[in-house]
């Protein structure tokens, strides 16, 4: 098998692998992306606030 055949095979494999990803990506609009980012931000903010409160509680116990 020569270089051209290997290159063509790789091209076919990559395009068949990427096609569903590209199709899904094309369906995203800016508003949907912003909603996902905002939802993630709210979730992470709550998690971090809970963790900080827990740490303050534990540190306060030792400093007490």
Q: For 41-59, what is the HEC assignment? A: HHHHHHHHHHHHHHHHHHH
Please give the residue range of the domain that contains residue 30. 3-63
Over residues 1-34, the pLDDT tens digits come to 899 999 999 999 999 999 999 999 899 899 988 9
Structure tokens at 23: 């199709």
Q: What pLDDT shows up at residue 41?
A: 95
For the chain, what is the domain count?
Answer: 1
What band does 62 get if pLDDT is binned at 50, 70 and 90? confident
Q: What pLDDT shows up at residue 64?
A: 62
């Amino acid at each position: 098998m020569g270089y051209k055949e290997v290159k063509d095979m790789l091209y076919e494999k990559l395009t068949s692998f990427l096609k569903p990803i590209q199709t899904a990506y094309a369906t995203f609009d800016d508003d949907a992306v912003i909603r996902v980012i905002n939802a993630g931000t709210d979730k992470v903010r709550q998690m971090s606030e809970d963790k900080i409160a827990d740490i303050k509680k534990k540190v306060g116990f030792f400093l007490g």
